[in-house]
Structure 1
Amino acid sequence: MKMSASIAVACCVLVAWGGGAAHAAPAKMAVSFTWCGTATPATKVTGIPAGTAILRFRLRDHQAPSYPHGGGDYPVAGRSVSIPCGGLKASNFDGPHPPPPQIHDYEWTVSALNAKGMPIATASAVRKFPQ
């Protein structure tokens, strides 16, 4: 009888901890983008974590990492967002323009910031320009 009680307690503890059922992991934030010439790219961000107030974007040239391409901020409410070509209003954005005939790899990084400006998630994607 003692063993049956122990097994019953163990089962209840497993169920309480979630061990008795499969739980889906939270969606990881992801970003994809398409070039729009030298304007800010068309961008899709999915898996935006709860508590995100602003998405902060930055463009980085892998062949010229010190060049300041800049980026911009985008207010968000929801789990995903699609930003059209040129839809990211950024006064300091300088789009891709490697010297001809070079092709560079550009990384478009997005950080999800909470209302206090603290980062809570980051994602990035890389594309060549020109393609």
Structure 2
Amino acid sequence: MRPITTLIAAFALTASAAQAEMSLSFNGWGNIPSCTTGRPNTVGNPAFTLKGVPAGTTRIHLRLKDLDVPSYNHGGGKVKMSSDGTIPAGTFKYKSPCPPSGRHTYEWTATAKKGGKTLATAKAARQYP
């Protein structure tokens, strides 16, 4: 029985490795006003690209977090999933990056949803300014 258990475990590991993880990328902050006052502007989102989105995904939830001040809510948006994995700039509004001093690292989290079920999550971070 032990060889069968090992074979099943090896098959499960191979099958999970064959599934690509979802990834998120964005090239910059888009055309937003410069902000270093600690009082963010309400702006349109940057363009996003998602890869490895699970089959059946109907919506993507996006949230922005300042990793240097994680308690501040920058908001985000919920969008219908496009067939090409892109979310155009300006699809939703959020509170822009706006550190009161120095550079902060900001992280977008994209969550793939089908109904109320989470299918996958991906993150991408970038400094501002």
Cα deviation 1:21-70 (Å, max 9, x = unaligned): x8771221000012112531111111100010100000000111111100
Answering whether residue 116 of structure 2 is matched by residue 117 of structure 1, we say: yes
Answering whether residue 29 of structure 2 is matched by residue 35 of structure 1, we say: yes
2 CA distance for matches of 1:39 and 1:129? Answer: 16
Structure possessing the higher radius of gyration over alpha carbons: 1
TM-score for the superposition, normalised by structure 2 = 0.73
For residue 89 of structure 1, what is the aligned residue in structure 2?
92
For residue 5 of structure 1, what is the aligned residue in structure 2?
none
**Aligned residues: CA RMSD:** 2.3
Structure 2: unaligned runs, 5 residues or longer: 1-6, 33-42
For residue 78 of structure 2, what is the aligned residue in structure 1?
73
Residue identity opposite 1:85 in structure 2: A
1 CA distance for matches of 2:58 and 2:116? Answer: 8
Aligned-residue identity in percent:
42
- Whether the 8 Å contact between 1:52 and 1:77 is mirrored in structure 2 is no
Answering whether residue 52 of structure 2 is matched by residue 47 of structure 1, we say: yes
- Whether the 8 Å contact between 2:44 and 2:92 is mirrored in structure 1 is no
TM-score for the superposition, normalised by structure 1 = 0.72
For residue 108 of structure 1, what is the aligned residue in structure 2?
108
For this pair of structures, how many residues does the alignment match? 107
2 CA distance for matches of 1:77 and 1:85? Answer: 13
Structure 1: unaligned runs, 5 residues or longer: 1-13
Change (3 A) 1:76 1:28: same
Consecutive aligned runs of 4 or more in structure 1 exceeding 3 Å deviation: none
